[in-house]
Amino acid sequence: MVHFLTDNYRIFTLTGLPSHEIDAIMDAEIEQIEEELVAPSHAVNKVAEALPGFGIVAAVLGIVITMGSIGGPMEEIGAHVAAALVGTFLGVFFAYGFVGPVSSHLESLGQHEVKAYLCLKASLVASVAGYAPSVSVESGRKLLPPDLRPNFNELSDYLKQYR
């Protein structure tokens, strides 16, 4: 985030571009960052989508093995059918009970980080547009997630330390 902030502020100071153009440049960069942040979640989601198929393959193979033991002891046939059902269960369980939720969590972590970049962008654009530093900081504060957003007084007290 430090690189994001310094690179974009450097662009403004070197080029003197107006705030709306700096805004567009940062939007494009944030879009690229967002793609990079959510890419792992998409890869894990592909695995989650494939796991029920593995469960079906396990069921089919279990039934094929069961058919090969027809005419044998009932206990053996029962064990083969049970193995087929366990394979199906594990494929569905891991897809929807573990790997899918992990994928969703990874995506939410990426989206959470993107909000921090949007906060920086709002503050920098306000600063470049000529607003007072306190207004620039406030415009960024409003974009923080509610669980991380300090209230106005907390932020004011924090900023007073640096005056």
Q: Could you report the per-residue pLDDT of 83-105, keeping only the tens digit for each? A: 999 999 999 999 999 999 999 99
DSSP class of residue 95?
I
Res 159: pLDDT = 76
- DSSP strands (E only) in the chain: none
Q: What mean pLDDT comes out for the span 15-24? A: 89
Measured CA to CA in angstroms, residue 101 lies from 3, 95, 98, 120 at distances of 32, 8, 6, 29
Domain residue spans of the chain: 2-160
Q: What integer pLDDT is reported at residue 109 of this predicted model?
A: 93
Q: Is the pLDDT of residue 148 over 90?
A: no
Return the axis-axis angle of helices 19-68 and 100-128, rounded to nearest 10°.
180
